Amino acid sequence: MTELNRRQLLLRGAIGAGGLASMSAILAACGGGGGIEGQTSEQATEAAASVERTLADKFVLSNWPLYIDIDEETKKSPTLDGFTAETGVPVEYLEDINSNEEFFGIVQGPLSQGQFVRDVAIITGYMAARMKDLGYLEQFDLESVSDLGNVSIPAPPWNEGFAYGVPWQSYMTGLSYNEDKISSVMSVEELLTEPALKGKITLFNSMGDTMGLLMQDAGYDTTKIDPDQFDEQLERLQKAVDDGQVRQFTGNEYTGPLAKGDLWACMAWSGDIIQLQADNDKLRFTIPDKGGQIGTDYMCILKGGDVYTSSVFANYVLDPKIAAQLSVYINYVTPVSAAKPEAEAIDPAVSENQLIFPDEATLAKLQEFDPVALNDQTYNEKFQAVIGA
Amino acid sequence: MRGLRRFLGRHLLTAFAILGFVYILLPIAVIALFSFNDPAGKYNYNWQGFTFQYWREVLAIPALRDAIIVSIEIALLVSVISTILGTLIALALVRHLFRGRSSTNLLIFLPMSTPEIVMGASLLALFLNLGVSTGFVTILLAHVTFCVSFVVVTVKARVTGFDRRLEEAAMDLGANVTRTFLRVTFPLILPGIGAAALLSFALSLDDFVITNFTKGTVITFPVYIWGAARIGVPVQVNVIGTMIFLIAVGIMAVGVLVSVVRARRDRAIAAQAVEAH
Amino acid sequence: MGYLRRHPRAVPYLLIAPGLIWLGLLFVVPLYYLLSTSLQSGDIYEGFRQTFSWSNYSEMASQYRPQLVRSIQYAAIATLAALVIAYPLVYFIARRGGQWKSLLLVLLIAPFFVTYLIRTLAWQTILADEGLIVGVLRDVGLIADDGRLLATSFAVVAGITYNYFPFMALPIYVALEQFDGRLLEAAGDLYANPLKAFLRVTLPISLPGVFAGTLTTFIPAMGDFVNAQLLGTPKQYMIGNVIQSKFLVVVDYPLASAGAVMLMALILVGVFLYARALGTERLTG
């Protein structure tokens, strides 16, 4: 992979700032004493029937930290600059998503009140499904996303024809360990019970990742969740928490302590570890033999976002050249398999990497967690109770 | 025996005080030290080398710069509004006896004794129930609400300590109410007002918890840090932390000097005024 | 102005009106809405409707009892720790500070102007597993080789103690500063024993400051969630963590509101008892 400019990594770690746009909010008392308004599914269906195909003056994109390409010298994203050069639309780029749930909590209020928040946000499949149900997403103008044919992963049921979400990157959830501290950690069982790891591990605060790996470790199917199996594995998780084995449940924030050596092993996202190896070459990523999880993050148009500009942007990043440029830098799994030869031209090592361009054998070990279960309140509450949130 | 005990007592206390100051200043020392760090990776945890780079490039991260600008804008507005509201209340409480005085005292005290999380949650409950979109304005409203009480207390302390006879003297000399207030009262309580304004500015700049509930999608400086903390806070944040400390020390040191000078001058004015009377 | 001359009694009401209306609309009314929300039920899909259901309270009290109890425990320990550290320190400044008194006071307060989150992150660095303090404590055998400080109850309580330190130190300082040093000298002559002099004279004089300090430290400490989040683990989570997560992440507004109301109720009882004991004037003075 390309040698990352280390200081640049630091700069990219910054979270985007919100503009002053919300100045317009004024304390306008407007009744509604009966409770806090919810969203109805009728509102959800009124989608973009006819699209006016003119580009907006500005494109606002919300993304996760370290989830885009950054040129070492100019310290700008070639992909975003390329988009602006091609369309003339400047991009306001915000790295303000740290967890799906938290981002949902932030935008839920404004979206339910019909306020413009962002044009496009990059969110994980199950959360996109939830936001679609709540009527918080606009449909893409699919005619303007002609490169959708390049997408090599199937469209999930909630997202027929990728109308509500165009794939950005896929990610694998597996295990990581620090070779300096422990020789190897190959299974979830080892992670949860190895005495040497007591208080030295973290798991994810996202249910699909943590419960997915536990259930796969027990040999269960995670694409369709069985309540008894779920409860059984939740108990196992509770025990690991009670024993003090688990230090913390985290989102992105496991990366610091892992790179620093405070964590010896943890559940991890593939692309993070590839990037962290630039800081600490003792870190290893492994997909457990019993299997790992795969998930996909989608570009979604938030209610009130500009549909045409967003669709043009989605189309732009699906171009194999751009997709390759992105994956060489961010090291996650690209949904555009045609990007592989392009990536090879930029950096052969990346195209060989199983974690970035996984082959059939690797893909066979991966499962996607049941999206219905992910949006099920009962499962979520049980899980939240165990992780103490 | 008694002398020995005294000696021990004296030095034990001194030793404890030194330890106490070490404890208080240790985090600041760490923040300052790591503002000069030159981390190889993106994590500013381990000391790797000395550099001035991040002091020079303190505003180089656009997102951080924008967050600071938002925070300063809010803090300035909060400082002005809450200082006006609070000063008026403080004047009323000290200078006038009126029915409802103790209820007013209680209403001033309650916000200070409400945990931030309750205040933030209740404001969000209000905004949600009324369908108000959260953002810059709601942050502003929230900050003024928790700053007013602190202004009242700060100004009150100053107004209480000032000699009523000065005003009476001015009135006797023919000055009307407005003139007396502008020429005599206001200059005398100005240091208190200034301190209160600075305090509300600082409180607003620092607030994370209440802001987190009322911010909508706006990102202030503390909100930026909260997000960045998950993936490694940039060195610039340490630089700004150190700057805040130095500015606070500077302003307070000036304040101490000014109050010494003023105390002397006030006594002189008072003596003259009373004599004239 | 003419009106004011004719109605001097209106003056104080005109002075307090803007501020009190503000506090009424943005402090009292929100508390009403918090209470109202805590009695609603529903979910984000259907909206939340007023049902006057108390089930949110029973759920909070049963499911999150550990976090509630922990908040009280941590806040109490942190308050005590702050008192133990602050008292001798401000006593030193007030009594032995001499000409350096003002400067020492500045050094005592200035750190707390540095952004709260930055201070807490600094403790993360100080207490880290590979950090200096843990290393020293390991070497002298005070903690086991695989022991740690970060991500423990100790770290959380230490963080709370530090972050609310000035709320303890300042009221005590003010109380101590008010009394005349000669009083202590006289007491010293009278009682001969410095400890006795301290217990009979200094301590009673500083007691109002101690009361105020304990209250102003304990209250925000009870509602804190930042320290548990940054320095602890889910096993250290306090009621504040639950409230903020239910409000902003899980989006269960009624349950979250119930938690906030319970927290506020506990504190109001405390403040009420305190106000009864000292009179309201003292509180804002």
pLDDT digits (tens, 9 = 90+) for A184-233: 999 999 999 999 999 899 999 899 999 999 999 999 999 999 999 999 99
CB count within 10 Å of CB A144 equals 19
Ranking C136-140, C209-213, C275-279 by mean pLDDT, the lowest is C275-279
Shared domain check, A309 and A243: no
On chain B, the residues whose CB falls within 8 A of the CB of A106 are 216-217
Are B133 and A22 a contacting pair at CB < 8 A?
yes
Are C115 and B46 a contacting pair at CB < 8 A?
no
Examine the pLDDT at C21 and tell me if it is beyond 80.
Answer: yes
pLDDT band at B42 (very low <50, low <70, confident <90, very high): low
Q: How much is the pLDDT for B169?
A: 82
Shared domain check, A285 and A223: yes
For residue range C148-178, what is the model confidence (pLDDT) as tens digits? Answer: 888 889 999 999 999 999 999 999 998 888 7
Q: In chain A, which residue's Cα lies nearest the Cα of B58?
A: A11
Percent of the residues in chain A that have a pLDDT greater than 70, as a whole number: 86
Examine the pLDDT at A9 and tell me if it is beyond 50.
Answer: no
Examine the pLDDT at A51 and tell me if it is beyond 70.
Answer: no
Q: Give the three-state DSSP class for C225.
A: coil
Name subunits touching A (3+ CB pairs < 8 A): B, C
Are B128 and A36 a contacting pair at CB < 8 A?
yes
Structure tokens at C86: 């602050």
Percent of the residues in chain C that have a pLDDT greater than 70, as a whole number: 92
Residue A195: give its domain's CATH number: 3.40.190.10
Examine the pLDDT at B174 and tell me if it is beyond 90.
Answer: no
DSSP A236-304: HHHHHHHTT-EEEEESGGGHHHHHHTS-SEEEEEHHHHHHHTTT-TTEEEE--TT-EEEEEEEEEEETT
Q: How much is the pLDDT for B264?
A: 77
Domain residue spans of chain C: 63-284
pLDDT band at C274 (very low <50, low <70, confident <90, very high): low
Q: Could you tell me if residue A35 is inside a domain?
A: no
The distance of A89 to chain B (nearest Cα, Å) reads 19
On chain C, the residues whose CB falls within 8 A of the CB of B160 are 285
Q: Residues B224, B215: contact at Cβ < 8 Å?
A: no
On chain A, the residues whose CB falls within 8 A of the CB of B43 are 256, 259-260, 279
Q: Could you tell me if residue A7 is inside a domain?
A: no
Shared domain check, A108 and A68: yes
The CATH code of the domain at C63-284 is 1.10.3720.10
CA A59, CA A56: separation in Å to the nearest integer? 7
Strands A137-138, A120-124: parallel, antiparallel or unpaired by DSSP?
unpaired
Q: Could you tell me if residue A38 is inside a domain?
A: no
Q: Give C240 or C143, the one with higher predicted confidence.
A: C240
Name subunits touching C (3+ CB pairs < 8 A): A, B
Q: Which of A39, A244, A249 sits opposite C45 (nearest CB)?
A: A39
Q: Give B68 or C196, the one with higher predicted confidence.
A: B68
Q: How much is the pLDDT for A24?
A: 28
Q: Could you tell me if residue A311 is inside a domain?
A: yes
Query: Could you give the domains of chain B?
Result: 62-276 (1.10.3720.10)
Shared domain check, A146 and A58: yes
Are C146 and A35 a contacting pair at CB < 8 A?
no
For helices C65-96 and C153-163, give the axis angle rounded to 10 degrees.
50
pLDDT band at A18 (very low <50, low <70, confident <90, very high): very low
Percent of the residues in chain C that have a pLDDT greater than 90, as a whole number: 54
CA B236, CA C81: separation in Å to the nearest integer? 32
Enumerate residues 236 to 265 of chain A having a beta carbon within 8 A of any beta carbon in chain B: 250-253, 255-256, 259-260
Shared domain check, A64 and A159: yes
Q: Give C282 or B16, the one with higher predicted confidence.
A: B16
CA A126, CA A158: separation in Å to the nearest integer? 9
Shared domain check, A214 and A89: no
Q: In chain A, which residue's Cα lies nearest the Cα of B54?
A: A7
pLDDT band at A44 (very low <50, low <70, confident <90, very high): very low
Side chain identity at residue C138, one-letter code: R
Q: Give B243 or A97, the one with higher predicted confidence.
A: B243
Query: Average of pLDDT values for B150-155?
Result: 94
Q: Residues C99, C265: contact at Cβ < 8 Å?
A: no
The distance of A368 to chain C (nearest Cα, Å) reads 22
Q: Is A75 exposed, middle or buried (0-12, 13-18, 19+ CB in 10 A)?
A: middle
Whether A330 contacts chain B with CB within 8 A: no
Report chain C's mean pLDDT, rounded to a whole number.
Answer: 87
Whether A33 contacts chain B with CB within 8 A: yes
Are C130 and A106 a contacting pair at CB < 8 A?
no
Shared domain check, A140 and A86: yes
Q: How much is the pLDDT for A31?
A: 35
**Alpha helices, H only, chain A:** 6-12, 41-45, 78-87, 100-112, 125-133, 188-193, 207-217, 227-242, 255-260, 270-276, 307-318, 320-330, 339-346, 348-352, 360-364, 371-374, 377-387
On chain B, the residues whose CB falls within 8 A of the CB of C126 are 26-27, 30
Examine the pLDDT at A32 and tell me if it is beyond 50.
Answer: no
| Beta bridge pairs of residue A295 | A171
Enclosing domain of residue A96: 53-170+295-359
Query: Average of pLDDT values for B42-46?
Result: 69
Shared domain check, A285 and A330: no
Shared domain check, A188 and A90: no
On chain B, the residues whose CB falls within 8 A of the CB of C116 are 206, 208, 222
Ranking A208-212, A307-311, B112-116 by mean pLDDT, the lowest is B112-116
Torsion of CA B97, B102, B107, B113, to 10 degrees: 130
Report chain B's mean pLDDT, rounded to a whole number.
Answer: 88
Shared domain check, A164 and A149: yes
Shared domain check, A303 and A237: no
Whether B22 contacts chain C with CB within 8 A: no
pLDDT band at B49 (very low <50, low <70, confident <90, very high): confident
Examine the pLDDT at A70 and tell me if it is beyond 60.
Answer: yes
Count: domains in chain A: 2
Shared domain check, A277 and A302: no
Query: Average of pLDDT values for B98-107?
Result: 90
Q: How much is the pLDDT for B94?
A: 86
Q: Residues B135, A22: contact at Cβ < 8 Å?
A: yes
